[in-house]
Structure 1
Amino acid sequence: MKYFKLFLISFLLITEIVEAQDPHFSQFYYSPLTENPALTGAFDGSYRLGTIYKNQWGSVTSPFVYSTPSISGDYKLMNNGYNNNYLGVGLMLLNDRSGDANLSNLTAMFSAAYHLSLDQRGYNHISIGLQGGIVQKSIDQAALKFLDQYDGNGGFTGISAEHFDNVSILYPDFSAGAAYTSVISKQTRFQAGISVFHLTQPTERFLQSTVSNDRLPIRYLAHASATFGLNSKIYLFPFGQFQMQNKNQEVVAGANIGYKFAGTPSAVGTLFYVGAFTRVKYNVVPTVGFMMNGLQFGLSYDVNLSNDLKAVAKSNGGFELALVYTGILRSDKGQPIPCPTF
């Protein structure tokens, strides 16, 4: 069983190298700069700082830990109040590590978005965003074991015939997006957007390949979320996401429901929430968290439903922690915060 796990994870790792799938977070609403460049600066306040950490597949076998920490910050410029057009700028750093071979994805992205108000009160905005930066990927070739090295007695010997052209690659990467945000009332808002990643389709290859096209496929993403104040205390937060890259598709849908212990309809106060969503065919993700004025905390756990890994991982997935703080500078104290929102 141990070696079955080893071969399975090695296969998945090599598949990831070849197909170059992007790292992603379950609580994507807490990682706006990896979701859509147009969400840069799309929040109530002056600045936003966030961190999110994902750890998964630790139950398969201890060396094969997949972890993805990320930190980000964005800030509003040319912002004379909530009712005006404004510019948002931001920076995101991500370090994704996969498996015993330490497949590493270190990403640094700068983003900017312009938010155009569609009405005098600033309750409806169209946002256009761009993002660009550097991606560095590397792998520890010596740590990998291949089938042609298996000696049939539970061990490995010799050198594999697999050849790596590179163990480290570096390339620029660019993305773009658009979003629409509507504040319908003090307790109700809606947001939807689309984004496109890897616009220049950079070349990405570790293994020696006879395939002429080793370019990273464009990834398309659409998302929507809403906040509904069911009454002065109870809030519903439905959300959904669809992604497509090459022939791979992913659908996410779910909701959180929160109870507000303190605060007014026009301010967040203190709110506790629970919820769940599904990444269709892959996992179910229960969530819990709280909002306290400008601070948001979220915890989720991926329960694996995939038949490929259910027997090995025993349906276990991984934890994800998120922490976001939104602040208001002294010069922006007049900005209202309409309602609790992700």
Structure 2
Amino acid sequence: MSGRLKYTIALFMFATSLQAIAQDHIYSQFFNAPIYLNPSLTGQFEGDIRMNVIYRNQWSGLSGDLSYITASADLNISKFAGGVGLMFNRSSEGTAFLVKNNAAATYAYSVGGDDFVASFGIQAGFTNRQIDWSKLVFSDQIDMRLGYIPGSVSSAQPPDVDSKIFFDAAAGTNIVFRNLMAGVAVHHINKPDESFSGTVAKLPMRITANASFRIPLSYGYYSNQDESPFLIPSVVYYKQASSTSLSAGAQFKFKGLNAGLWYRTGNQNGPDAIVVSLIFDLLKGNRNGEKLRLGISHDATTSKINYTNTSGTTEGSIGYEKYFPNSSGYNKFNGLRCYDFY
């Protein structure tokens, strides 16, 4: 890679860290970050307790850091007619190490029966946003021909504030009707002010819509759903201010294996990435409904920055769920929870 191209990409990474004020990160394995996708999915699984961790390393071939992690735990509590959960998010973006730490609680209420389940969820928490001003590069540190001047000191005076805490809220709804699941969520309902400088810079609301359809590939799937093959096409749409993204694809699910192929668009509906995912469900078939899920996916960049420069994006995830001993909820919803769609 030429020096000029490295310089251009470094500037792109710097711009990305500043533009993060207007965009949240998204996961290719959205189905392995259910509470992050939609708070109404809290408690929507076959079990009493569920734990998920997902990590995303974006554009690993570039200098600077673009990494994200989400960890969550939620309970399916029948006497609450839904579930409660806790979620932690951390992101580190760009050469200025713009860091966000978010902790939130979620609650979802569900109604329905064997053929239909509707869930309504809320989320509330606090976010701490930090930046390292010493890592920023200003215009008087850049030579138009040579790029960044090593050891140079800018005359620009950065703001005194490098850390901020604010309240953040979200809400969503999700329905499952036979072999169809669909949901919509709105994050940052209160549009919190993220500014370090005192000039108001509100975080735009993020709107997420998702839909999945489960197509059985075997006539006997009703008698043994865990052993039957399925094709599951899905669509997820994101909108935040002027930024939009659409992910469309399908997964083939058979026994403990789940393989997926996705195409994602970026802004102005231009190409962003092709995603390949592999999910392994282990420990299935145990009496207490215990499941251990391991997932890995890779994004092959198709945008103008291209795969050669970025080396793509990789995600890894771990999920675990089970019923408590002598649980009254065992098989209560006959596989109508969101987990069975992935």
**TM-score using structure 2 length:** 0.84
The verdict on how the C-alpha distance between 1:334 and 1:173 changes in structure 2, with shifts beyond 3 A counting, is: closer
Corresponding letter in the other structure for 2:303:
S
The CA distance in 1 between the partners of 2:39 and 2:160, in whole Å, is 33
Cα deviation code 1:140-166 (max 9, x no counterpart): 110111222124655141225263352
Quick check: 1:165–1:205 contact (8 Å CA) kept in 2? no
| SS of residue paired to 1:314 | helix
Where does residue 24 of structure 2 map in the other structure?
A: 22
Quick check: 1:51–1:324 contact (8 Å CA) kept in 2? yes
Quick check: 2:17–2:95 contact (8 Å CA) kept in 1? no
Cα deviation code 1:260-298 (max 9, x no counterpart): 2xxxxxxxxxx2122211112211111112122112221
The CA distance in 1 between the partners of 2:68 and 2:323, in whole Å, is 29
The verdict on how the C-alpha distance between 1:162 and 1:284 changes in structure 2, with shifts beyond 3 A counting, is: farther
Quick check: 1:149–1:160 contact (8 Å CA) kept in 2? no
Alpha-carbon distance, 1:48 to partner: 0.6
Quick check: 2:60–2:310 contact (8 Å CA) kept in 1? no
Alpha-carbon distance, 1:98 to partner: 1.1
Alpha-carbon distance, 1:338 to partner: 2.9
Deviating more after overlay: 65-74 vs 2-11: 2-11
Where does residue 59 of structure 1 map in the other structure?
A: 61
Are 2:138 and 1:138 equivalent residues in the alignment? no
Quick check: 2:16–2:93 contact (8 Å CA) kept in 1? no
Are 2:267 and 1:273 equivalent residues in the alignment? no
Quick check: 1:165–1:208 contact (8 Å CA) kept in 2? no
**TM-score using structure 1 length:** 0.84
Quick check: 1:305–1:315 contact (8 Å CA) kept in 2? no
Quick check: 1:240–1:253 contact (8 Å CA) kept in 2? yes
The CA distance in 2 between the partners of 1:229 and 1:298, in whole Å, is 22
The CA distance in 2 between the partners of 1:102 and 1:323, in whole Å, is 26
Unaligned stretches of 5+ residues in structure 1:
80-84, 261-270
Where does residue 93 of structure 1 map in the other structure?
A: 88
Cα deviation code 1:82-123 (max 9, x no counterpart): xxx822000000111112321111010100000011x4xx33
Alpha-carbon distance, 1:38 to partner: 0.6
Corresponding letter in the other structure for 2:294:
F
The verdict on how the C-alpha distance between 1:111 and 1:55 changes in structure 2, with shifts beyond 3 A counting, is: same
Corresponding letter in the other structure for 2:201:
D
Alpha-carbon distance, 1:130 to partner: 0.6
Where does residue 7 of structure 2 map in the other structure?
A: 3
The CA distance in 2 between the partners of 1:66 and 1:160, in whole Å, is 28
Cα deviation code 1:182-230 (max 9, x no counterpart): 3x3xxxx321111111111111113565xxx521111111111233321
Within 5 Å, which residues of 2 pair with 1:279-294?
279-280=264-265, 281-292=271-282, 293=284, 294=291
Where does residue 17 of structure 2 map in the other structure?
A: 13
The one of 198, 204, 207 equivalent to 2:188 is: 198
| SS of residue paired to 1:331 | coil
Within 5 Å, which residues of 2 pair with 1:244-259?
244-259=239-254
| SS of residue paired to 2:214 | strand
Where does residue 48 of structure 2 map in the other structure?
A: 46
Where does residue 268 of structure 1 map in the other structure?
A: none
Where does residue 267 of structure 1 map in the other structure?
A: none
The CA distance in 2 between the partners of 1:8 and 1:245, in whole Å, is 20
Corresponding letter in the other structure for 1:300:
S
Where does residue 107 of structure 2 map in the other structure?
A: 112
| SS of residue paired to 1:338 | coil
Where does residue 204 of structure 2 map in the other structure?
A: 217
The verdict on how the C-alpha distance between 1:315 and 1:149 changes in structure 2, with shifts beyond 3 A counting, is: closer
The CA distance in 2 between the partners of 1:30 and 1:105, in whole Å, is 21
The CA distance in 1 between the partners of 2:143 and 2:310, in whole Å, is 31
The CA distance in 2 between the partners of 1:88 and 1:259, in whole Å, is 28
% identical aligned pairs? 28
Are 2:311 and 1:316 equivalent residues in the alignment? yes
Where does residue 32 of structure 1 map in the other structure?
A: 34
Unaligned stretches of 5+ residues in structure 2:
222-227, 266-270, 285-290
Where does residue 265 of structure 1 map in the other structure?
A: none
Cα deviation code 1:35-81 (max 9, x no counterpart): 111110011111111110100122023xx1211111101001235xx
Where does residue 268 of structure 2 map in the other structure?
A: none
The verdict on how the C-alpha distance between 1:227 and 1:160 changes in structure 2, with shifts beyond 3 A counting, is: farther
Where does residue 69 of structure 1 map in the other structure?
A: 69
